[in-house]
Structure 1
Amino acid sequence: MTEPVTYSVQDGVAFLTIDNPPVNALSQRVRAALMDMIDRAEEEDGVTAIVLMGAGATFPAGADIAEFDAPLAPPSLPDVCDRIEMCDLPVVAAIHGTALGGGFEIALAAHYRLALTSTRVGLPEVKLGLLPGAGGTQRAPRLAGAKAALDMMLSGGMFAVDRPPARVFFDALAEGDLKDAALRFCKTLVAEGRGPRRTRDMRQGFEDAAGYQAEIARRRARVEVQREMAPREIVAAVEAAQLLPFESGMALEEDLFRERLGSDQSAALRHAFFAERRAPKLALPAGTHMPQIERIVVLGGGTLPMQIVVSALVSGLHVNWGTRDPQILAEGVSQAREVLDWLVSRTTIRRQQADESLARLRTGDSAGMTGDAQVILHAARGQGNVPAPEGVVRIVAMPGRVDAIGLRFAPPAYASRLVELVQGSAATPKEVAAALALARRMGKVAVPVKSAGDTIAGRMMATYQRAADALVDLGQTPFAIDSAMRRWGWPRAPFELADALGLEDLARTPRADGAQNWAAVLVAAGRPGRAAGKGWYDWDKGGPAPSDEALRLVQAMRPQAAALPEAEIVRLILGAIANEGVRMIGTGMAVRPSDIDVTMMLSQDVPRWRGGPMKAVGGEGLFRVAQAMRRLDHPDTAFWTPEPVWADLIKNGHTFDALNEV
């Protein structure tokens, strides 16, 4: 086993290089080695400065998140940061790649910071339901003030070091060889007699005390209306940096970090983090070639092809866009320009990136676009017989049957990160590899699905509507159900969503004997949804209002019943959705529960801090949810009866998480 930190001395400068591939995560071995190497550098004659660097592609990109589910072994990252800060020799953090979370906290603890101009830094702990736990909430505001510190911590984003808010943290930026730049920097420090400069003693971020507190008040007003707890505690910790001595602020940060680490929200967010990374790991036969996709062909006109084209262009791909109708193509290109302009206005991309994207677009008749294709996406009907070079993989990107391979982009394709990789019965490893390579090239999270065209999202949302209808059968009002789901955190309330999509398609969905399709009832009554201004809700410019007429229609057709508690409504609907997920796994359509969670979080707005429906049911307790489903006296018994795997998991004290490892 190689050493996680290497030690070398050049011209009196000790270089401590962290070498823990692939991202130099700050595991226990790395932390312990850093402590030892700092001791060694302090004790070695002739060493006048220390440089912390990362080997390979990056400075430490963060903590080892896999360690968070067990007691953290010493030395802790705060201890390492304290050791760096209290070192008797000047310590310079020389950064390249990405320095995120704990990696950036190490840099903040160093006495000086140097970075390549291409470096990006951030404090993304909020995305895991946490706050920085190694001094980030105390050191960052000392250097940069409340605004810059909170911009980084509350967004959880990555920031270029040559622009605000990150630029203020760096003493110098460099091009070229980072080690040479660090050596020159250290020689200048020694020549000028500059020694350790401890961040805990710095105060420039507190100079405008009133402005600091005003920023705290402004951010607190924002985060207190959110359901997530981590943002609130980040604001509290950054406020404490100004008001408390450093050691007291650190103690508060530690308490808040440990509290968040043990919370359900953080567990759900960490589940989401790992689930996204697990989903695209498809079991392909050994030796399957993963192509490098640089040019794709998109065939067809309309909204979906336009969105796919924009997404592909923004990701850096060259795109040939072909249709058989030049007018439709011209309209599509105009719409693509508008979307790119909108992305620029939202600062999602820069103007230069938008212009360069359009320069990679070629358009024309479908038959003339396929000659240099690496992959062809059929994104609209009427393009199936377009000739193409032999052996080019054709991917179905539109709704409908999939015999071989399909990619179903969650809308809008240029903004959503999800694509379902649908493998039909005739899919070959070459086709699966090409689809997966394209999804990765486009920056999408690819969730594998085995079906003839059905998607996980489609199955789960159909189940959502079926379960909601069943509760109306039993006497609940559609508006109480919508309210319960919104208050749980899911903005896509079932009946308001049905109105928005239009009730006609849903009205044709079969129900079991004795169960009602309530969308069909409303359509028959002339209330087909939002487009007509009336469905479950009355729609006007002020937004939806619960319809008394719709409620009277329902009440006339089913018995009255006592209102269920909101928690019971949520429990039953989530249970039904999870039960459908178990069925999909049982038939092989879905690989694992976490894939279902990823799909629902990225395409259907299930809140990440709930972890997805499968994770949420585990949090509720499988036994409690299964009992609630069994108690439900509804004629659609096959739908509501928990699948056998529930009993096996309950007997062994497991949740659906146990199926992720199968």
Structure 2
Amino acid sequence: MGHGWGQMDERVRYSTRDGVAFVTIDNPPVNAISLVVRTGLQEALSKALADAEVGAIVIAAQGPSFSAGADLRDLDCGAVPPRLTDLLRDIEDAPKPVLAAIQGSALGGGFELALACHYRLVHTDAQLGLPDMALGLVPSGGGSQRLVRLAGARVALDMLISGRPISAELAVRLGLADRLVRKSPGRAAFMAARNFIQAKTPPRPTRTCEAGFANPDDFLAAVEERRAAAEDDKREAVHRAIDLVEAALLLPFEAALAMEYAHFASLAGGAQAHGLRHAILAERRAARRSVPAGHPPRPVARVAVLGGGRLGSGIVRACLAAGLAVNLVEQDEAAVLRARRRIASGIARDVAQGHLAPDQRAAQIARLNAGHDIAVLSAADLVLEAVGEDHETRRAVFARAGAASRPGTLLASAGLAPDLAALARASSRPADVLGLRFFTPARWVRLVEVVCPPTAAPDLAASGGAFARMLGKLPVSPDPSGDGDSLALPVFGALFAVAAGALCAGADPPEIDTALRDYGFALGPFQLADLAGLDRLAALGWPGIGGILLAEIMAAGFAGKEPGEGFYRHPAGAPARPARELDALTDRLRKRAAPGGGWAGKPTKAEIADRAALAMANAGARLLASEVARHPSDIDAAMLAGFTYPRWRGGPMQAADTSGLLAVRTRLRRLSECTGEALFAPSPLFDVLIRDGLNFEGLNPASAGQRPV
């Protein structure tokens, strides 16, 4: 037969050649399986099956990716026919062989589509996976059931729960793909399809495969092991995924398929999935706005870092990991040697923990030049000050940096609370000065706040945001009119104030941290404070009980994890444990604290978490009312990336929306009345939003656009 073309929708193309029907997804940028694409695939399948001259079908995709999954905005349309599960069942039931030609990413619904095909050819660069867990979901198109049948319980559980993609080579080894292709998977699939027609090769429905059930006892043991490991996991989708893997062995395929879709539908309408979708969109909005259009960023290839303490050394490691060349400048040779040891030790830990390939260790160290001659600043594209929170020292450093660096070199402070206007004046180069607020440990914390003073050149915001993204960080920008105020620190400060109040009311740091971990934080407030450095936080001068606690603990000589002791003791190579040396300090604070504090006895975990959620939402509302924050989602993104806020809650402002703003304001008023603390006095913004029938989400910009997940 000659080459024929059929017009479906422009996002799904149909053609035939030599008895092979080609169905091509063309839905840029990443071939999302939207409702329009599902409809086009259904029509193409029907056309191919109705054509007596078509003996086999190839499903391929235009562009670099097969399909990276569903459009976030299309999740609410998942039940509109054709549902993905019904479409994929029709593909699997096709009486003619269906082959998938896979290149690039086959993720989520794209991988489910591939699993429903009878044969799968994968390019060597392909990545296959089910990242639905990142959205608080399980697959909806039969992916959990087909994956288990091909690869077994252990592989399925890992892929479903971790969401990590696997390589094409591993997919072939696991039986998830049939052949590795080094050139064109489309051409290879066409050749295979012609051979199938000639050999009368029949379809091979995935549901009939039982390789994954070869050892039922081990299968069930894997399920129980994962169920036990996930006992304290707050993510609903994790427990549903485990149930679905078990169901693959215990239920008929149709019943397990129905169970999967029921779980998907239930989760998709739940608060956790909504919170996770919000988290993803919040981070995209923040990152996109941090690199504004119209002002190309200045190129950065070589960075100079002034200061090799724990902040500076962490920034150096982040830059080296991103492939940048770094000049580290310290005040004398002894400080240089200490910084070198700290950096080399950190890189060695990265290798030992699998974060860095052993052969890359030497390359990273080779890109580092450490010394005490400030003349090296003349070769830098970006100079980053990380000398600590002393304002006089910082101004002196900027005066020297402005004189030693080339005109146009970016001059940035990594401090938590720099006076950027004073630093701009000290540098004599005010147009080149900005804040790049890193949070420790700087190697791993994803948040960088990009702060531009009024004197900054128009391209500095884009330059700072582009640099942060180069390091794999999430850049978030406070409103330029906010005088350099932070989005994350006031919200964390509110959380820490609640923790300090609970400490004074009789709870100890491990109990308080457990309460917030039960709420969903990866680390509690005292654990976070130890990591951030108690000296850095104390320098912020927070008002109230939180600031008093930091000042007292610093005066007692406890500075956090890096020196070895803060709210916890941090012995080298051993788990942290409570610092009982703090008992006397805690007793003094409790005697000085206002009686009661509004607590009815020793605080419970539920009371601590509730107060913390209210205080964080109130702090965020104040940032919005004072125009330090432009959008509620920026606050959410900052807390997610900087302080381990639970992603499935979406962020403190999203959590307030979920609770209802009227209920939040009522509870804040009650706490304000019974405690007398300004921390809980409701921001007037609550009154405005409640009066106008709005919530925080309504203050966010429109959707961040089509980005499949």
TM-score computed with the length of structure 1 as normaliser? 0.89
Structure-2 change in CA distance of 1:623 and 1:316 (3 Å): same
Q: Is the 8 A contact 2:494 2:679 kept in 1?
A: no
- Tell me the secondary structure at the aligned position of residue 429 of structure 1: coil
Kindly state the Cα deviation for residue 71 of structure 1 after the two structures are TM-superposed: 6.2
610-619 or 453-462, which deviates more: 453-462
Q: Is the 8 A contact 2:669 2:681 kept in 1?
A: yes
1:32 matched residue in structure 2: 39
- Tell me the secondary structure at the aligned position of residue 456 of structure 1: coil
Once residues 284 and 127 of structure 1 are traced to their aligned partners in structure 2, the CA distance between those partners, rounded to angstroms, is: 25
Structure-2 change in CA distance of 1:568 and 1:654 (3 Å): farther
1:462 matched residue in structure 2: 493
Q: What is the identity, as a one-letter code, of the residue corresponding to 2:62? A: A
Once residues 171 and 378 of structure 1 are traced to their aligned partners in structure 2, the CA distance between those partners, rounded to angstroms, is: 53
1:647 matched residue in structure 2: 687
1:146 matched residue in structure 2: 153
Once residues 64 and 508 of structure 1 are traced to their aligned partners in structure 2, the CA distance between those partners, rounded to angstroms, is: 42
167-176 or 279-288, which deviates more: 279-288
Kindly state the Cα deviation for residue 275 of structure 1 after the two structures are TM-superposed: 1.1
1:408-487 → structure 2 map (5 Å cutoff): 408-449=437-478, 450=480, 451-469=482-500, 477=507, 484-487=515-518
Structure-2 change in CA distance of 1:618 and 1:441 (3 Å): same
Taking only the aligned residue pairs, the percentage that are identical comes to 36
1:473-507 CA distance string (max 9 Å, x none): 8x675667555434323354445656775489649
- Tell me the secondary structure at the aligned position of residue 266 of structure 1: helix
Q: Is the 8 A contact 2:9 2:40 kept in 1?
A: no
Q: Is the 8 A contact 1:161 1:167 kept in 2?
A: no
101-110 or 610-619, which deviates more: 610-619
1:225-267 CA distance string (max 9 Å, x none): 2121211111110011111111011011111111211221121
Kindly state the Cα deviation for residue 10 of structure 1 after the two structures are TM-superposed: 3.4
492-501 or 91-100, which deviates more: 492-501
Q: Is the 8 A contact 2:290 2:462 kept in 1?
A: no
1:50-449 → structure 2 map (5 Å cutoff): 50-69=57-76, 72-163=79-170, 167-282=174-289, 287-291=294-298, 293-323=300-330, 325=332, 328-362=335-369, 367=374, 369-380=376-387, 383-384=397-398, 385-386=400-401, 387-399=404-416, 400-403=418-421, 404-449=433-478
User: Which structure 2 residue ranges, 5 or more long, are not aligned?
Assistant: 1-7, 388-393, 422-432, 703-709
- Tell me the secondary structure at the aligned position of residue 15 of structure 1: strand
Q: What is the identity, as a one-letter code, of the residue corresponding to 2:609? A: V
Q: Is the 8 A contact 1:293 1:437 kept in 2?
A: no
Kindly state the Cα deviation for residue 300 of structure 1 after the two structures are TM-superposed: 3.7
Once residues 167 and 651 of structure 1 are traced to their aligned partners in structure 2, the CA distance between those partners, rounded to angstroms, is: 58
How many residue pairs are counted as aligned between the two chains? 659
Q: 1:617 aligns with which of 656, 674, 681?
A: 656
Once residues 324 and 451 of structure 2 are traced to their aligned partners in structure 1, the CA distance between those partners, rounded to angstroms, is: 22
250-259 or 138-147, which deviates more: 250-259
TM-score computed with the length of structure 2 as normaliser? 0.84
Q: Is the 8 A contact 1:478 1:495 kept in 2?
A: no
- Tell me the secondary structure at the aligned position of residue 234 of structure 1: helix
Once residues 262 and 275 of structure 2 are traced to their aligned partners in structure 1, the CA distance between those partners, rounded to angstroms, is: 20
359-368 or 643-652, which deviates more: 359-368
Structure-2 change in CA distance of 1:630 and 1:160 (3 Å): same
Structure-2 change in CA distance of 1:353 and 1:22 (3 Å): farther
Kindly state the Cα deviation for residue 153 of structure 1 after the two structures are TM-superposed: 0.9
Structure-2 change in CA distance of 1:535 and 1:319 (3 Å): closer
Kindly state the Cα deviation for residue 636 of structure 1 after the two structures are TM-superposed: 5.3
Q: Is the 8 A contact 1:123 1:157 kept in 2?
A: yes
Q: What is the identity, as a one-letter code, of the residue corresponding to 1:111? A: H
**2:503 is aligned with 1:509:** no
Q: 1:578 aligns with which of 617, 621, 631?
A: 617
1:590 matched residue in structure 2: 629
Kindly state the Cα deviation for residue 527 of structure 1 after the two structures are TM-superposed: 8.5
Q: What is the identity, as a one-letter code, of the residue corresponding to 1:617? A: A
Kindly state the Cα deviation for residue 443 of structure 1 after the two structures are TM-superposed: 2.1
User: Which structure 1 residue ranges, 5 or more long, are not aligned?
Assistant: none
**2:22 is aligned with 1:15:** yes
- Tell me the secondary structure at the aligned position of residue 389 of structure 1: coil
Q: What is the identity, as a one-letter code, of the residue corresponding to 1:126? A: M
- Tell me the secondary structure at the aligned position of residue 658 of structure 1: helix
1:490 matched residue in structure 2: 521
- Tell me the secondary structure at the aligned position of residue 408 of structure 1: strand
Q: Is the 8 A contact 1:302 1:332 kept in 2?
A: yes
153-162 or 394-403, which deviates more: 394-403
480-489 or 118-127, which deviates more: 480-489
1:383-407 CA distance string (max 9 Å, x none): 5324233223233234423343222
- Tell me the secondary structure at the aligned position of residue 383 of structure 2: strand
Structure-2 change in CA distance of 1:7 and 1:419 (3 Å): same
1:564-593 CA distance string (max 9 Å, x none): 665454333322222221222233322211
Kindly state the Cα deviation for residue 33 of structure 1 after the two structures are TM-superposed: 0.4
Kindly state the Cα deviation for residue 61 of structure 1 after the two structures are TM-superposed: 0.1
2:600 matched residue in structure 1: 562
Q: Is the 8 A contact 1:301 1:323 kept in 2?
A: yes
Q: Is the 8 A contact 1:504 1:523 kept in 2?
A: no
Once residues 55 and 209 of structure 2 are traced to their aligned partners in structure 1, the CA distance between those partners, rounded to angstroms, is: 23
- Tell me the secondary structure at the aligned position of residue 29 of structure 2: coil
- Tell me the secondary structure at the aligned position of residue 437 of structure 2: strand
Q: Is the 8 A contact 2:16 2:22 kept in 1?
A: yes
- Tell me the secondary structure at the aligned position of residue 349 of structure 1: coil
Structure-2 change in CA distance of 1:166 and 1:445 (3 Å): farther
Once residues 514 and 52 of structure 2 are traced to their aligned partners in structure 1, the CA distance between those partners, rounded to angstroms, is: 70
User: Greater relative contact order (Cα 8 A, min sep 6): structure 1 or 2?
Assistant: 2
Structure-2 change in CA distance of 1:10 and 1:305 (3 Å): farther
1:144-168 CA distance string (max 9 Å, x none): 0111111111111122221369753
Q: Is the 8 A contact 2:291 2:465 kept in 1?
A: no
Once residues 323 and 527 of structure 1 are traced to their aligned partners in structure 2, the CA distance between those partners, rounded to angstroms, is: 25
